[in-house]
Chains A and B, each alone.
Chain A
Amino acid sequence: QQQVRQSPQSLTVWEGETAILNCSYEDSTFNYFPWYQQFPGEGPALLISISSVSDKKEDGRFTIFFNKREKKLSLHITDSQPGDSATYFCAASNTNTGKLTFGDGTVLTVKP
């Protein structure tokens, strides 16, 4: 049973549009949700994160919306730029283990 699910698998938007990436999870003990960004040939790098005590986290053009009751979260990228084209991973962990469980990723393409 996959613990963290992401949708869509791939997403294409035009420059300037808002990209919305979705994530859901199964384990109710998860309390920390980072999003990682990965460019081809590189390792993933932390983009933005949220803890379960918050319902929104904003950092520039990137915003996480979190719904604890529904076990869902989403990453909104406003004013998308071609340089945002990458694979985005949603991940989850709990304080007990510290292990991060990753979703399968969303490949975002931003067309100029």
Chain B
Amino acid sequence: EAAVTQSPRNKVAVTGGKVTLSCNQTNNHNNMYWYRQDTGHGLRLIHYSYGAGSTEKGDIPDGYKASRPSQENFSLILELATPSQTSVYFCASGTPTGSQNTLYFGAGTRLSVL
């Protein structure tokens, strides 16, 4: 069973503060992803990575940075948090096989920016 662990599970931050969301996977998957989920918008891709040292911009990268220091770990960084970044954030991992790309998601981090 694929295992993706996110921390913290819940976070309250102040506007202008720095927030780091962490993700760890034990599946040895090459790719890792950060999505945010908002009511009415489904899941939107923020950043992703093809392996250690690599980060790529997703569809909504503004206001976010990402870091992939190792195969197992992928962080999402909000340098200057804003209330519009209040959301539920999901990390996922996967290794594309041919045309298939099954993602395994963590349980999510609920972030509130006040």
Contact of A95 among B33, B48, B98, B108 (CB under 8 A): B98
A-chain residues with CB within 8 Å of residue B59 when the two chains form the complex? 101
- Residues of A70-112 at the interface with B, using a CB-CB cut-off of 8 Å, are 89, 93-95, 98-105
Are B99 and A95 closer than 8 Å at their CB atoms?
A: yes
Q: For the complex, would chain A's binding face be called helix, strand, loop or mixed by DSSP majority?
A: loop
A103 to B44, CA, bound (A): 9
B-chain residues with CB within 8 Å of residue A41 when the two chains form the complex? 107-108
Who on chain A is nearest to B30 by CB? A98
Given contacts A42-B107, A98-B31, contact A89 B43 (CB under 8 A): yes
Given contacts A44-B105, A99-B58, contact A51 B42 (CB under 8 A): no
B-chain residues with CB within 8 Å of residue A99 when the two chains form the complex? 33, 45, 48, 58
A94 to B94, CA, bound (A): 14
Contact of B101 among A45, A89, A93 (CB under 8 A): A93
Contact of B42 among A42, A43, A89, A93 (CB under 8 A): A89
A-chain residues with CB within 8 Å of residue B94 when the two chains form the complex? 98
A-chain residues with CB within 8 Å of residue B98 when the two chains form the complex? 95
Report the contact-size class of chain A (Cβ under 8 Å from the partner): 20 to 34
Given contacts A89-B42, A99-B45, A103-B42, contact A46 B103 (CB under 8 A): yes
Question: Quick check: is A32 within 8 A (CB to CB) of the other chain?
Answer: yes
Nearest Cβ distance between residue B10 and chain A, in whole angstroms?
11
Who on chain B is nearest to A93 by CB? B101
Question: Quick check: is B84 within 8 A (CB to CB) of the other chain?
Answer: no
4 additional contacts (CB under 8 A) given A43-B107, A98-B96, A100-B33:
A44-B43, A44-B90, A98-B31, A99-B45
Spell out B's residues near A (CB within 8 Å).
Answer: 4, 31, 33, 35, 40-45, 48, 58-59, 90, 92, 94, 96, 98-108
